[in-house]
Amino acid sequence: MSVKDASTVGRRASRKEWIGLAVIAVACLLYVMDLSVLYLAVPSLTRDLEPSSSQLLWITDIYGFLVAGFLITMGTLGDRIGRRRVLLTGAAAFGAASILAAFSNSAEMLIGARALLGIAGATVAPSTLSLIRNMFLDPQQRTVAIGVWGTSFAAGGAIGPLVGGGLLEFFWWGSVFLINVPVMALLLALGPRLLPEFRDPTAGRLDLTSAAMSLAAVLAVIYGLKQIAQDGLAWSAALCIAAGLAVGVAFVRRQTTLEDPLIDLKLFRVPKFSVSVASNALTGFVVFGMFLYIAQYLQLVLRLSPLQAGLWTLPSSVGVIAGSMMAPVIGRWVRPAFAVAGGLVMAALGFGILTQVDATAGLPLVVTGSVVFSLGLGPVFILATDLIVGTAPPERAGSASAISETGAEFGGALGIALLGSVGAAVYRSGVTEAIPDGGPPAAQEAARDTLGGALAAAQQLPDQIGQKLVDAAHVAFTDGLHLTAAIGAIIALVIASLVAILLRDVRAGSDPDEQASSEADGADGDAYPYEALDPVPCEA
């Protein structure tokens, strides 16, 4: 056993920790809401601020970019100076930036405010998850707490558009930002009383060069992937990704030479950690790619309004929430490897249902399939995250949490780009023959590129010819959805097999030191050296 105070090992959380968890969950819910709540406000802010098309893209995208880019830095910073301090500083900055965004009077000002929101938002996920690691020492309670944490993310994604739509019915577009202020004020008021402070007392100084390199690598790769998803494969996007990967390789090499690295690469020697991180990343890959197609199918094939489409995606959000809440119960009775593998098999079944959707009346199958795969993937994310956090030594919890979140961000961006490209290729192949000759060249090219372009081009054609193009475009897009769902099912089954094999000996609720010892005995010393000192609680 490591150098631990035996009285703290497995100590069960009190009411104070559970109330603190509720405060953390509200902050996480708000953090996710800010990723989606803006989309409904785009028409009204466009009328007021008159942004260019490029500025509008930056208004919507820069928040997510900077959240992803700063996750590793913020997680490691929390390990060094205190997780509560980083979280509360981020909360104060988030509230101030929200006020700035709400009262922006130009597109440039709103872009700057959204950038500040992204940097502040990057403190939330790693700080809250690493605080949970220290607040809930009992493994079963920790799994429940991470289930609540993950559920708050799912709930934020589900209610964000609904809350935004309700506010926009009565107030101006800036109101979608002002809802952040009272919640962050509550966190600032209750956080010092309810959330303990933890940091690594032996940590060295933050390596600013590594922080800059991690930011550059993440931003370059995710930006390039997003450009591919938006405009197709181009040299500029490929070069951006290549540059990001090159910086990433240099970053990894630098970590091996530092006495106090930004990321402790020894964590990846532990199979439980590395396999769980990969599982989360690949889960994000298939989920984000599928939701991209489902949203377009509902609006462009079934011709539902944005509000109607949003309402029909609610069942899948409920599925994620239900699956996340079931994770602690499942983990209590089933080994993590088989629980995660079972959830992935269930997700594959949901993706299989989506391969049967047709181009005219597929709403029941879309809803059923999305609920099934969401219900299956809910426990996967929670249990894999629990393994990641439980594997890392407490003084590295912030860094481990950031790695987990960054992996999911990368997986999601890669899924949108690659699965989007695969579906686009199927669409172009299927719709090309149906585009009539003699029309405007620009309209023909738009019809080849996207379903939305085909629907717009059809309006410029005689009724019968236009309807033929619409029908062909719907079928071609649905074929792309089928292939994407089939790929998702195959990936889910492959991950399930690997997890079941590689983690079959991992037990639920094992203490990190015990697990490390067992892994060291059978892994030729590859396990993480857990004898490092635990972080000491710091008084407020």
Distance CA 537, CA 540 (A): 9
Average confidence (pLDDT) over 224-245: 79
pLDDT at 328 exceeding the cut of 90: no
Q: Which of 138, 168, 154 shows the shortest CA–CA distance to 37?
A: 168
pLDDT tier at 221, thresholds 50, 70, 90: confident
Q: What is the mean pLDDT of the chain?
A: 76
The answer to whether 85 and 130 are in contact (CB under 8 A) is: no
Vertex 304 angle, CA 301 and 305, to 5°: 135
Most confident range (mean pLDDT) of 63-67, 108-112, 401-405 is 108-112
**What are the tens digits of pLDDT across the range 508-519?**
554 444 444 444
**What are the tens digits of pLDDT across the range 41-55?**
766 777 778 777 667
Residue spans of alpha helices (H) in 171-207: 175-178, 180-194
pLDDT at 496 exceeding the cut of 70: yes
What's the confidence (pLDDT) of residue 464?
A: 74
Distance CA 150, CA 56 (A): 30
pLDDT at 479 exceeding the cut of 50: yes
**What are the tens digits of pLDDT across the range 172-203?**
888 888 888 888 888 888 878 878 777 766 66
Distance CA 378, CA 394 (A): 25
pLDDT tier at 261, thresholds 50, 70, 90: confident
Distance CA 495, CA 492 (A): 5
Average confidence (pLDDT) over 89-101: 90
End-to-end CA distance of the chain: 29
Average confidence (pLDDT) over 341-360: 90
